């Protein structure tokens, strides 16, 4: 009898330990790790994306978390510098033991993380932007399609690009499109990221007398390029195309009327046709928090996609009922997801299955006050046709007046 009592006691103790272990496991958060530009040239965009992801975290946890566990974001400032990325993601995996790793913002930051993910055989969910399976052309093709509707058709092109990952990709796409449309490239040069004076660049472009000027730049240089174009009095028919940063309210307010006539890409504007289920509610929450967080007050550019990015991950975890990297990757590749920016699906390369790049033109801006930038009439959507809200004004040298 003593032996039987002892064995029952041992069994009960084991079961109790298992129960305690399971309960402890259920209380542990699912950790999602990433780097984000919180300082440096991309910070205005990165900080707004982080707020969107934190809103998603709060929304999910308010509903009980995922797989019965709370969700916790683990993030570090990548300082807008690709050099920080390998160590940052190695720490997330090896030290923080993040269950899932996702990308921050910008191609410049995604590229150096990829080898780390491959070495660790990790799912790396990185497609925050709706550029489709061919990002090299997605950024620039709408710009060129609009320019080539001009009468007479343009014949000459200048390409100006920062010496960095995304501008390299976008400018390569621009060269391909130049061949497609029979354009003569009269200027094609890159500039160092640390450039501060863009006036000599714009003067050299003007000397080549192109009808189209395609620019692929990051926020600090986008501002410098716009100021230089106005200082020099750039005369061309179509200007812009791939200028990161002009989508952010603080930069719009810096530049004001200097933006008039510029064509550029964007991801989202709250027009009637883009009010997908849930997006306006998200923006209301975001805008209520934005001032205290010191981020873009409107949140139109990246925040809806940053939130949608996490919705996809959420649906994959709920669909597989697992955190297994391979299962999640297969699920993401094989399903369509309902998000606040509409339906999203992915190809085998991890990019969105089709592009949804808006080409917009700044028009009729008269000052720097926030109210006129809340009015989407100052940012006309020229393409794609299903979201079009206005017609292109050309040439640039007249439209900017």
pLDDT at 1: 46
User: In this structure, are 120 and 154 located in the same domain?
Assistant: no
140 and 106 within one domain: no
Task: Compare 341 and 353 and report the one with higher pLDDT.
Answer: 341
**CATH number for 196:** 3.40.50.2300
Question: Quick one: 252 and 392 in the same domain?
Answer: yes
Is residue 179 exposed (0-12), middle (13-18) or buried (19+ Cβ within 10 Å)? exposed
Instruction: Give yes or no for a contact between 84 and 78, defined as CB atoms under 8 angstroms apart.
Output: yes
113 is a domain residue: yes
**35 exposed, middle or buried (CB, 10 Å; 0-12, 13-18, 19+)?**
buried
Sign of the CA dihedral running 18, 21, 26, 32: negative
CA–CA separation, 176 vs 57, rounded Å? 41
Q: How far apart (Å, rounded) are the C-alpha atoms in residues 395 and 235?
A: 8
Flag whether 339 is in a domain.
yes
Whether residues 301 and 341 share a domain: the answer is yes
Q: Are residues 236 and 382 in the same domain?
A: yes
Q: Tell me, yes or no, whether 33 lies in a domain.
A: yes
Backbone phi and psi for residue 13, each to the nearest 5 degrees, phi listed first:
-65, -40
pLDDT at position 395 is 96
> Do residue 60 and residue 156 come from a single domain?
no
pLDDT of 174: 97
The pLDDT score that the predictor gives to residue 127 is: 65
Domain that holds residue 297: 25-126+276-345
Q: Domain check: are 383 and 334 in the same one?
A: no
pLDDT in tens, 173-202: 999 999 999 999 999 999 998 999 999 999
With respect to residue 169, please indicate whether it lies within any of the assigned structural domains. Answer: yes
Kindly state the tokens that stand for 73.
């974001």
Q: Enumerate the β-bridge partners of residue 31.
A: 72
41 and 61 in a common domain: yes
Residue 233 has which token pair?
A: 């009095």
- Over residues 129-154, the pLDDT tens digits come to 888 888 889 889 999 999 999 999 99
d(CA 158, CA 189): 9
**Structural domain includes residue 395:** yes
The continuous run of DSSP H or E covering 264 comes out as: strand 263-266
Please give the model's pTM, rounded to 2 decimal places.
Answer: 0.88
- Does an H or E element contain 43, and which? helix 43-62
181 domain residue, yes or no: yes
> What confidence score (pLDDT) does residue 58 get?
98
Residues 251 and 379 in one domain: yes
| Domain limit, last residue, from 300, 321, 345 | 345
Q: Give residue 378's pLDDT band: very low, low, confident or very high (50, 70, 90).
A: very high
363 part of a folded domain: yes
With respect to residue 351, please indicate whether it lies within any of the assigned structural domains.
no
DSSP string, 367-394: S--HHHHHSGGGEEEEESGGG-------
Taking each helix axis as running N to C, give the angle between helix 279-293 and helix 43-62, from 0 to 180 degrees, rounded to the nearest 10.
120
Query: pLDDT at position 126, please?
Result: 61
**pLDDT computed for residue 106 by the predictor:** 79
Quote the CA–CA distance of 253 and 265 in Å, as a whole number: 18
| Whether residues 303 and 235 fall in one domain | no
Domain final residue pick, 345, 367, 391: 345
Which has the minimum average pLDDT: 19-28, 63-72, 139-148, 302-311? 19-28
Domain final residue pick, 345, 365, 381: 345
Of 91-95, 246-250, 325-329, 381-385, which range is least confident? 325-329
275-282: long-range contacts (C-beta < 8 A, 24 or more apart)? Answer: 276/339, 276/340, 276/341, 276/342, 277/338, 277/340, 278/339, 278/340, 279/304, 279/340, 279/341, 282/52, 282/55, 282/307, 282/340
Long-range contacts of 169-173 (CB under 8 A, 24+ apart): 169/107, 169/135, 169/136, 169/139, 170/136, 170/139, 170/140, 170/216, 170/241, 170/242, 171/214, 171/216, 171/242, 172/136, 173/136, 173/137, 173/138, 173/139, 173/140, 173/141
How many domains, the chain? Answer: 2
255 and 395 in a common domain: yes
183 neighbors 127 (Cβ within 8 angstroms): no
Identify whether residues 324 and 365 lie together within a single domain: no
If you average pLDDT over residues 327-343, what whole number do you get?
93
């Amino acid at each position: 009898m003593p032996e039987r009592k002892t064995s029952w006691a041992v069994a009960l103790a084991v079961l109790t330990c298992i129960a305690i272990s399971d309960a402890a496991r259920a209380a542990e958060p699912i950790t999602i790790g990433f780097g984000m530009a919180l300082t440096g040239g991309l910070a205005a965009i990165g900080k707004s994306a982080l707020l969107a992801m934190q809103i998603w975290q709060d929304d999910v946890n308010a509903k009980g978390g995922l797989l019965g566990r709370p969700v916790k974001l683990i993030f570090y400032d990548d300082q807008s510098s690709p050099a920080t990325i390998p160590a940052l993601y190695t720490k997330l995996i090896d030290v923080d033991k993040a269950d899932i790793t996702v990308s921050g913002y910008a191609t410049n930051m995604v590229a150096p993380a990829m080898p780390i993910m491959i070495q660790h055989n990790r799912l790396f969910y990185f497609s925050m932007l709706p550029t489709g399976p061919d990002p090299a052309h997605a950024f620039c093709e709408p710009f060129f399609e609009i320019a080539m509707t001009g009468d007479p058709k343009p014949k000459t092109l200048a390409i100006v690009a920062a010496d960095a990952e995304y501008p390299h990709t976008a400018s390569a796409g621009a060269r391909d499109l130049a061949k497609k449309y029979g354009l003569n490239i009269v200027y094609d040069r890159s500039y160092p990221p640390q450039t501060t004076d863009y006036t000599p660049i714009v003067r050299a472009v003007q000397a080549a007398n192109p009808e189209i000027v395609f620019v692929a730049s990051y926020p600090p240089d986008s501002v410098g390029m716009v100021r230089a174009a106005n200082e020099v009095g750039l005369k061309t028919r179509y200007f812009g195309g791939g200028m990161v940063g002009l989508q952010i309210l603080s930069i719009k307010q810096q530049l004001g009327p200097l933006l008039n006539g510029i064509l550029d890409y964007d991801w989202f504007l709250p027009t009637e046709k883009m009010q997908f289920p849930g997006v306006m509610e998200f923006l209301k929450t975001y805008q209520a928090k934005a001032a205290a967080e010191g981020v873009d007050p409107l949140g139109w550019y990246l925040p809806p996609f940053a939130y949608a990015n996490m919705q996809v991950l959420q649906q994959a975890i709920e669909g597989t009922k697992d955190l297994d990297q391979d299962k999640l990757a297969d699920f993401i590749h094989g399903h369509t997801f309902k998000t606040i920016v509409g339906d999203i699906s992915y190809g085998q390369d991890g990019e969105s299955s089709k592009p949804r790049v808006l080409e917009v033109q700044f028009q009729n801006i008269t000052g720097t006050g926030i109210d006129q930038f809340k009015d989407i009439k100052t940012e006309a959507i020229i393409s794609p046709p299903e979201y079009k809200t206005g017609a292109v004004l050309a040439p640039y040298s007249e439209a900017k007046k």
